[in-house]
Amino acid sequence: MASIESISPLRHPAPDIADTTAAPWKSILDKSMVHLRDLPVHLMAGGDALDAVTDYFPMRINPYMLGLIDTPDGPIGRQLLPRAEELDDLDREGDPLAEEHQSPAPQIIHRYPGRVVFLVSNQCAVHCRFCMRKRRVADGRQVPRESIDLGIDYIRNHPQVNEVVLSGGDPLMRSDSQLVRILETLKEIPHVRLLRIHTRMPVVLPQRITPALAGELSRCHPLYLNLHCNHPAEITTEVASASRLLADAGIPLGSQTVLLKGVNDDARVLQELFEALLQIRVRPYYLHQLDRVPGTAHFRVPVERSIGLLRELRGRLSGMGMPHLMVDLPGGGGKVALGEASVVDRSEDFWKIRNWQGQIYDYTVRQ
């Protein structure tokens, strides 16, 4: 396994952002690139011809992530830089998962009986070109406090809800005090037993994770955090430091990865990613099929290929490093785990079971 120091050094000059006292996370965000003309010349593939793309889904790249982009066709460039292909499939449903239909209150998605997703932010530190909620994030306006309070009231008035997942946008785009107020208010509701934060911030702006924030979050247990990471080049020394602060605060860390053509649809890349995540105390949790939102067809990996990648990983990785391969069903059907069936035949006495090498073994099923 590669050491953290060897995984992904900054490849292009970037502002001095290692010292969070000299460059707080908000000041880094203030320097984000939002116009194509702001980009370095070597990253402006397409130039003004891509204005129509950014009119549909605005660009946002903060200086930290800009420093990690080698070329437009590199793994991070493909995730963040606009591309002409985004205009090829705009006729698709903007909300294919029917989240709005399953939203009984402002900012709430209630799909499963005991769990809700609480969209506490409409903003992100970068705009990923494959974003599943670009219909919300593209607007750029933050969720007002009144909507947050209505969402909390819904949770308070539905005692079957025992788990709340803070999502967005990115929940960590809220200030420390705003985020902690939400968490502490939810924690005071008797039937809410688990809190979860889904965020890309520790990866795309790790300077956001400060000792002060980690300390505040440590008072909100039981709290879990899933970060979004798609390629080993995203795991820098800064990301390792951010993860360490969170883990040392007693917050269990998991990861979610989206399968993206030309970025991580390679078993060796995924193996390096998942091993690197384990090294920084983040357990791989979900490997997602891309949601079929408009402007993302060029990123899609066929399901058979995805299952094949999982087959290649099995045996190479420890069980701790193997994520669930998930598809979020259209029309609000929810998440379902995909996988190659290991049981290939059944009889009264034996089942035939395939191992990670493809070999078939008889397994006695009688007592």
List, by residue number, the catalytic residues: 111-112, 115, 124, 128, 131, 133, 291, 328, 335
Distance of CA 69 to the CA centre of its chain: 19
CA distances (Å), origin 67, targets 14, 97, 275: 5, 34, 23
Local structure of 227: helix, strand or coil: strand
Kindly calculate the radius of gyration of the chain based on its CA atoms and give it in whole angstroms: 21
Residue with tokens 């437009």: 72
Contacts 24+ apart (CB under 8 A), 338-343: 338/289, 338/303, 338/306, 338/307, 339/307, 339/310, 340/307, 340/310, 340/311
Report how far residue 214's alpha carbon sits from residue 221's, in angstroms, rounded to the nearest whole number: 12
User: Which candidate, 267, 213, 273, places its Cα nearest to that of 245?
Assistant: 213
Report how far residue 136's alpha carbon sits from residue 48's, in angstroms, rounded to the nearest whole number: 25
